[in-house]
Amino acid sequence: MNKTPASNETKLGILDHAELNKHEIKGLKNTWEYLVSHQEETMDTLLINKAHKFGFDFLYNWAGKYRTSTPLVGNLEPPAPHLIPELMINLFNDLIYRLNNFDSDNLEELVKLLAWFEYRFIFIHPYPNTNGRTSRLLTNYILLKLGYPILDYSNRSENRAAYIQAMQEADEKNFENLEIFIAEELNKALKNMS
């Protein structure tokens, strides 16, 4: 099986951290533009992989394709590569079911849904890299589709240690701190709107 490429190996050569970051920001921006212009489509794995490919094709050979090896994410080993397609299909089917069966005016429910989705996407860790940022971007896409303002999740890089800890707590089925992060960002975004 192919090894997952090192994250600094790109179609543009081996890049240093700052350069890579600049290109990845562009990749995320492209991914977002693709999603925004396909809002009428069902949010399923096909759409997400197409958006990721559109976004990152200039940078990564693996854009829009799942990983073929298993990195350690903190202390956790994400699922084996052969399980990813089914896990992703289930995740998006589950998301669509939940979106059809909840009251989107209920902020508490909304925050729970976003935290669940963000955590599950990162847990599956479908791509070799960019999973954290893609999950946060998709969280925003859910908000956009529901008519909510999108979140400024720079908070989650400023408070990196607390964010990672919230993720580790979610591994233990305790979503409280992840939900608090998201609720704070959502409240800020809603305040900025009014």
Ligand X SMILES: Nc1ncnc2c1ncn2[C@@H]1O[C@H](COP(=O)(O)OP(=O)(O)OP(=O)(O)O)[C@@H](O)[C@H]1O
Interface residue list for ligand X (CB under 6 A): 73-74, 122, 129-133, 164, 167-168
CB atoms closer than 10 angstroms to residue 49: 17
Contact (Cβ atoms closer than 8 angstroms) between residue 146 and residue 87 = no
Q: Which does 38 bind (CB under 5 to 8 A by kind): ligand X, Mg ion, none?
A: none
Q: Which does 147 bind (CB under 5 to 8 A by kind): ligand X, Mg ion, none?
A: none
DSSP conformation class of 77: P
Q: 6 or 190, CB closer to ligand X?
A: 6
Q: 146 or 162, CB closer to ligand X?
A: 162
Q: 167 or 182, CB closer to ligand X?
A: 167
Which residue among the candidates 23, 52, 82, 125 is catalytic per the annotation?
Answer: 125
Give me 64's structure tokens. Answer: 């829009």
Residue 17 annotated among the catalytic residues of the structure: no
Minimum Å gap between C-beta 24 and Mg ion is: 8
Minimum Å gap between C-beta 56 and ligand X is: 11
Minimum Å gap between C-beta 38 and Mg ion is: 25
CB atoms closer than 10 angstroms to residue 57: 15
SS3 call for 36: helix
Contact (Cβ atoms closer than 8 angstroms) between residue 11 and residue 60 = yes
Say what the alpha-carbon torsion angle 37, 41, 44, 50 is, to the nearest 10 degrees: -40
Q: Which residues belong to the active site?
A: 125
